[in-house]
Amino acid sequence: MNKTKAKKHSEIYDVIVVGGGAAGMGIAITLGHAGIDNFTVLERDKVGASFAAWPAETRFITPSFPSNSIGMLDLNAIAIGVSPAYSLEVEHPTGEEYASHLRAVAKHFKIPVKQQSDVRLVSKVGDEFHIQLERQMLRAKHVVWAAGEFQYPRLNGFLGSEHCRHTATVPSYEDISGDNFIIIGGYESGVDAAYHLAYQDKKVRLFDSGCPWTDESSDPSIALSTYSQERMREDWFKEHVELFPESPVASVSVVDGGYEVVTTGGNTFHTPCQPLLAGGFEGSQKTVAHLFEKRDDGFLLLSEQDESTIVSGIYLCGPAVRHDNQVFCFIYKYRQRFAVVAKSIATSLGLAAEDLEQYRQWGMYLDDLSCCGEECATC
């Protein structure tokens, strides 16, 4: 797993991983453990770019703890033996801190990464994949799509949504001017934005189509994390933030130099500040959607090895992975699929991949999805 080896074989790679985020780095390390060395990671910017672009104040909601020594992998670790808690000495890293951790991990494992390599198109021609960059085309036997969600925000959904600003484009809540905000979307990103604005004594009205603040599910992919619940109990949050549950927004329009927000129930609200959109992400998978079947909910349909069901050799890795009702949107969830994907690719290349057995001991090898057909406490 080093640059020289990857270069020597560069005519056709065994694997190309697209995306140098948590998923891309995690799967790249796992490919190495599977005995695969002829691979590279293509990253449009630099390793950890999405995390580095989080609003400056935003922190991980899943805590990091150096529990590896007793056989429990740090929740935010992407590889065995790695712990953001240990290396960063923080429990809830900022995006920039986690990005620096990813860069250190990539260096430590000598992951071959081609930075500034923006993938425009992936197609299958005969038995190989053609990966089109701006000025170059690369060839590979397998592709792992790990380009994430953060850089592909959902900007539509209601009339006039283009008048809003997505929270993924906010460099820092400290720098936003104005005192009276409307935030559309009340799950993690919306609560995070409200918390930081309220901390600066700004008034916030937080709208959601449901009521994620009281959802009783034990799955943080559905209900609000404990970290956010704690923040909502802060005095300044309660003083400054007004919650509007069951209030889907129907339209946003520009009126008299300010903004008018109308809910589907017909209620009208005004704000002088550009409304903030915290409505989630479309995800990068739309770039490779032509190579996959789709599920009824729009997510890509995957085999039990997270491979396309119609084009063999292309895999999805990261938070957009779905199996039945199971959502893999956190690192501690989707890392359980790295070994499954690496094993499948290794098998196709005729490699035994015995080293991957250690992933099972670390709870990073979820190859039996049968317990997860329904939402359950362990998943």
**Closer of 286 and 360 to ligand FAD (Cβ):** 286
**Residue in this structure with the two tokens 């704690």, named with its chain if needed:** 230
Rounded to whole angstroms, the Cα distance separating 6 from 4 reads 5
Position of minimal CB gap to ligand FAD: 21
Minimum distance between the CB of residue 161 and ligand FAD, rounded to whole angstroms?
18
Minimum distance between the CB of residue 272 and ligand FAD, rounded to whole angstroms?
25
136 is written with which tokens?
Answer: 């170059």
Is residue 186 within 8 A of residue 204, CB to CB? The reply is: no
Is residue 322 within 8 A of residue 302, CB to CB? The reply is: yes
Minimum distance between the CB of residue 262 and ligand FAD, rounded to whole angstroms?
27
**Closer of 227 and 259 to ligand FAD (Cβ):** 227
**Closer of 47 and 263 to ligand FAD (Cβ):** 47
In the complex, which residues of this chain contact ligand FAD (CB under 6 A)? 18-24, 42-45, 49-51, 54, 58, 60-62, 76, 117-119, 146-148, 150-151, 188-189, 284, 287, 318-319, 329-331
**Closer of 188 and 307 to ligand FAD (Cβ):** 188
226 sits in the region (left: phi over 0; alpha: psi -120 to 50; else beta) called: alpha
Minimum distance between the CB of residue 136 and ligand FAD, rounded to whole angstroms?
12
**Closer of 9 and 120 to ligand FAD (Cβ):** 120
Question: 76-92 as b/e, with b when 16 or more CB fall inside 10 Å?
Answer: bbbbbebbbbbbbebbb
Minimum distance between the CB of residue 251 and ligand FAD, rounded to whole angstroms?
25
Q: What is the DSSP string of 114-172?
A: E-S----EEEEETTEEEEE-SS-EEEEEEEEE---STTSB---SSBTGGGSEEGGG-S-
**Closer of 148 and 185 to ligand FAD (Cβ):** 148
Minimum distance between the CB of residue 91 and ligand FAD, rounded to whole angstroms?
11
Rounded to whole angstroms, the Cα distance separating 276 from 182 reads 6
